[in-house]
Amino acid sequence: MVAAHAPARHAAYYLVRAAVAAPSVYNTQPWRFISQNDEIELHADLSRRLAVADPDGREMVISCGAALFNLRLAMRHLGFPPQVRLCPDPQQPWLLATVRWGRYARTTPDEEVMFAALPRRHTHYGPFQPDPLPVPLVGELQRAARREGAELSLMSGTEDLRRLAQPIHAAETVRRSSTAHTTELANWTPPPGSARRDGLPAHTYPRDPDTSSFAGRDYADQARLGHANQHAAHLTLPALGLVVLLNTGRDSLSDWLRAGQALQHVLLHATAHHVVAGFHTQPLELPELRRQIRRTLAAGRRPQMILRLGYDNDVLPALRRPVSDVLIHGLGARARSLGEVGPVGPAPGPVRPSRGERTSVG
C-alpha cells in the first residue's frame, strides 16, 4: 500500500503531474484521472475529443496512452512497479486503464534517464539539422516500441518517402479546404496573449507550415502567426530526419493505448539522446488515405502515427493545465467526473476493446 510510504493524495498528484507532460493531438490534453485509495483511473475526457479530425477518438486514446506511460514511469521513479489493467470495465469504454502500486523494486538506469527527460520532451515543427541518427540508437527506439506492443517501421528509401509525402500532402489539402476542420483547429490555436493552458499558442509552431517535403498542419490558417523557422533556407532531403511509422497489429482501444505508450517510450528515449520528433498524422485521420498507407507502407499492419526524428536546438515548452484541473480524489469522484464530461457512450465504430487486459510494465 502506498499509504505506508506517502499520503495517497500527494502520491497521486506527483504521478499525474508527470502524466500530463505527455503529448496530445492539438495539445487538447484529453485525459482525466480519478484517485481512490491505492488506485488511479485514467479516463478519456470526451469533451476534448476532436469531432472533425478524430471522430472515433483514436488519436485521443493514443494521447491518453502516452500519459499512461508517463504515469507508469513516475511510479517506477518512486521505486514501485505499476500494476496496469487496460480497458477494465465493459460498461465504461472510456475508462481506459487502472493503475495500482506494486511491491518495491529498484529503478533501472534506463527508467531514470527517461524520467529525467520528461520535462525536456517537446514537439518539433519544420526541418531538422542534417545530422543522421546513430544506427544503434535507431535499433534502441525500435526495441522500445516493441516492448510496448507496437512496431516502429523505418521509411528510409526515396520511394518510401515519396509514397508517404503524397498522402500527407493530399490530407493537408483536404483539411485546409474544409471549413469545419479550420473552425475546429481555430478553437485549439489561441491568439497571442491568451491565458489558456491548452491548445497551441503561436510561439510553438512555424509561420510557414510547409518548410519540408512533408506538409505540416496550417495551425495559423494563413494568418501569418507563428515563429520564423531558422532552418527554412537550408532544406535538403536529410532535413526530414528519420521518418518512421508506428504500427500495431489491430485497431482496438487497447491497441491505441499500446500505441500511445510505445510512442511516449520512443519519444523519451529519443529525448534522452537529444533527439526530437515531429508528427504528420493528417492522412491517418482520413480512412481512405490510412488504408492506402496500411497497404503500401505498413505491410498490412495498422498505422497509428507518422513521425520524423532528428536534431534541433530549439526547446519550445508546451503549455499544460494544472493537475487540479484533471485529477479528482475520493469515492464519489467517478460520478462527479463523468457528470462533468457528459454521458459516456459506446466504443466508437467497429472498435471492440480487449476487456480487463493486463499489460506488463517496468
Say whether pLDDT at 147 is over 80. Answer: yes
What's at 179, amino acid-wise?
A: T
Residue 225 has pLDDT above 70, yes or no: no
- What average pLDDT score do residues 223-247 get? 63
Other Cβ atoms within 10 Å of 286 Cβ, number: 16
pLDDT bracket for residue 220 (50, 70, 90): low
Q: pLDDT: is 38 or 148 the higher one?
A: 148
Show the DSSP H helices in the chain as ranges: 8-19, 58-77, 109-117, 135-147, 158-176, 179-187, 253-272, 287-296, 323-326, 333-341
> How large a percentage of the chain has pLDDT more than 90?
69
Q: Write down the pLDDT at residue 347.
A: 45
Range name among 73-82, 85-94, 155-164, 218-227 with the lowest pLDDT average: 218-227
Nearest-angstrom CA–CA distance, 46 and 7? 30
Is the confidence at residue 235, as pLDDT, over 50?
no
Res 341 pLDDT > 50: no
Place of cell 505540416: 216
User: Is residue 85 scored above 90 in pLDDT?
Assistant: yes
Q: Report pLDDT for 181.
A: 93
Characterize the bridge pairing of strands 95-101 and 39-44.
antiparallel
Helix, coil or strand: residue 242: strand
Joined together, the cell numbers standing for residue 233 give 533556407
pLDDT of residue 277: 96
Q: Considering only 166-175, 190-199, 299-308, which range has the smallest mean pLDDT?
A: 190-199
The pLDDT of residue 315 is 64
Is-contact 311 160, C-beta < 8 A? no
Contact 79, 350 (CB under 8 A): no
Secondary structure class of 302 (helix, strand, coil): strand
- Integer Cα distance of 126 and 278 in angstroms: 8
Res. 260: pLDDT tops 80: yes
pLDDT category of residue 127 using cuts at 50, 70 and 90: confident
Name the more confident of 88 and 340: 88
Tell me what pLDDT residue 1 has: 43
Cell numbers describing residue 289:
488515405
Distance CA 208, CA 199 (A): 18
Q: Give the pLDDT mean for 87-101.
A: 96
Which segment of 66-80, 92-106, 123-137, 215-229 scores lowest on mean pLDDT? 215-229
pLDDT reported for residue 4: 42
Q: What is the pLDDT of residue 360?
A: 44
Buried b (16+ CB within 10 A) or exposed e, 95-121: bbbbbbbbeeeebeeebeebbebbeeb
Query: Residue 343 has what pLDDT?
Result: 39
In this predicted structure, what is the pLDDT of residue 361?
44
Confidence of residue 214 (pLDDT cuts 50, 70, 90): confident
pLDDT at position 152: 98
Range picked from 139-153, 168-182, 217-231, 336-350 for highest mean pLDDT: 139-153
Locate 124 and state its grid cell. Answer: 518539433
**In whole angstroms, what is the distance from residue 293 CA to residue 213 CA?**
17
Contact by Cβ (8 Å): 34, 328: yes
Whether the predicted pLDDT of 275 surpasses 60: yes
